[in-house]
Amino acid sequence: MIVVDKNKCVGCGLCTGACSFGAIAMEGKLPVIGDTCVFCEECVKACPVQALTNDSIAVRKQDFGAYAGMWAVMEMNNERGQLQKVSLELLSEAKRLADMLGEKVSAVLLCSDVPEDFEENAAEIGCDNVYIVKNDVLEQYDTERYTSAICALARQYKPAGILFPATENGRDLAPRVSCRLQVGLTADCTALDIDAERNLVQIRPTYGGNIMASIISPNHRPQLASVRPNVLLVNHAAKPAETKFTYVDMEMGVQDGRVKFLKAVEKDNVFRDVGEAGIVISGGYGIGDAESFRVLQKLAVRMDAAVGATRKAVDEGWAPFDVQVGQTGKTVAPELYIACGISGALQHTIGIKNAKHIIAINADPAAPIFAMSDVAIMGDAVQVLSKLCDRVEKYGRDTLLAGKE
């Protein structure tokens, strides 16, 4: 936090000009630091009488005992007016961690409309509190407004830890919040724990997935971590909680809206969200070329499946990056994952650990992917895919999935 020493300040206003973020306004003869401050300290440097200081760390240590409880930040699918599945995964994990601490678990929801089944879902997971900021301008995700709202809630209610979804929006939001609150953030955690000193242990792969790093923030609160969709499970509490809903009034003024939402563009139907799909058919380098990759896409459409890809297939330009599955792509947890022409490198298979059933099609009997598959089909992937396409056409998707043909 940037602190103004009223006794030293001469009201020259040089600090307002030095701030590139418009975060400082003069109230009378004194500068007031606003929410858009990113602690770059340009104002501190510009002050000729050393009236400004950044005392963030001192404040955090001093306030440490006031922070309690685990929060999970909810993410909405605005088109469907529903929560994304990852929200409930995070809430379940926050509940588990809060129970370990003997503290409360809270959900934070920023929205224009509360989803119908939210109350029931929160109670079933055992959520103690829900903080809701409801405003029409929150219908679409907006970096500035969402950051300001989460920071304001965190400053007011002081949670010990906040879990964010490692989605596109969450990956945008969490670092902003971490910078504003001047605390650390561990992105893309695959597991979380509490240590003997009550720190949140944030576990994530590092060095190309060869090492699992356990990271703590012992000197700062709140502790921030993001977790990818499909890494955690949704767990229901033994007994539903009596969740308390708190609607928090918050100014969402014009100064908070420098980013303007123009329109939402529907994704190409074939390349839909791999993270939410029940069936994912993924192609690797063994598919051969872009033309052959289209056979895989054809099967995906017929089976109402999402198309996934390995990094090599994405690098070849056969599929967009947002359907890449694996360490640097998405984690998926479908009922059925069909891996076509994929070797089974660790960086890929780390993203399919939670798939219920895996079918692998590969020309090499020694391909590592076969070791983790329920069904192994040895052969040319494109030929097998073409045959599957014909069969789905002839017998229908459901008959084929039921194993009747």
Ligand X SMILES: Cc1cc2nc3c(=O)[nH]c(=O)nc-3n(C[C@H](O)[C@H](O)[C@H](O)COP(=O)(O)OP(=O)(O)OC[C@H]3O[C@@H](n4cnc5c(N)ncnc54)[C@H](O)[C@@H]3O)c2cc1C
The Cα–Cα gap between 85 and 90 comes to 9
229 lies in the site for ligand X, by CB under 6 A: no
**Nearest 5°: CA angle at 395, between 394 and 401?**
135
**DSSP, res 323:** G
Q: Which residue from 11, 17, 22, 208 is in contact with ligand X, where contact means CB under 6 A?
A: 208
Report the nearest approach of ligand X to the CB of residue 192 (Å): 21
Q: Which residue from 126, 159, 275, 284 is in contact with ligand X, where contact means CB under 6 A?
A: 284
Do the bridges between strand 336-340 and strand 306-309 make them parallel or antiparallel, or are there none, so unpaired?
unpaired
Please provide the DSSP assignment of 196-244 as one string. Answer: TTSPEEEEEEETTTTEEEEE--TT-SSEEEEE-TTSS-----SS---PE
Q: Of 46-54, 151-159, 282-290, 293-301, which segment contacts ligand X by CB under 6 A?
A: 282-290
Residue with tokens 């006031």: 66
311 lies in the site for ligand X, by CB under 6 A: yes
Q: Of 150-158, 233-241, 335-343, 385-393, which segment contacts ligand X by CB under 6 A?
A: 335-343
320 lies in the site for ligand X, by CB under 6 A: no
The Cα–Cα gap between 318 and 357 comes to 25
Contact 343, 369 (CB under 8 A): yes
Q: Where is 89: in which H helix or E strand?
A: helix 85-101
Report the nearest approach of ligand X to the CB of residue 26 (Å): 49
Site for ligand X in 36-65 (CB under 6 A): none
Q: Which residue from 72, 73, 225, 313 is in contact with ligand X, where contact means CB under 6 A?
A: 313
Residue with tokens 């002081």: 158
Query: Which is nearer to ligand X, 96 or 311 (by Cβ)?
Result: 311
Compute CA distances 202 → 23, 167, 185, 194, 337, whole Å: 32, 17, 9, 9, 28
Binding-site string for ligand X from residue 88 to residue 107, where x marks contact by CB under 6 A and - marks none: --------------------
343 lies in the site for ligand X, by CB under 6 A: yes
291 lies in the site for ligand X, by CB under 6 A: no
Q: Of 52-60, 120-128, 183-191, 306-314, which segment contacts ligand X by CB under 6 A?
A: 306-314
347 lies in the site for ligand X, by CB under 6 A: yes
Q: Around Cβ 239, how many Cβ atoms within 10 Å?
A: 9
Q: Which residue from 217, 226, 362, 373 is in contact with ligand X, where contact means CB under 6 A?
A: 362
Which residues of the shown chain bind ligand X in the complex (CB under 6 A)? 208, 284-286, 310-313, 324-329, 341-343, 345, 347-348, 361-364, 367, 380-381
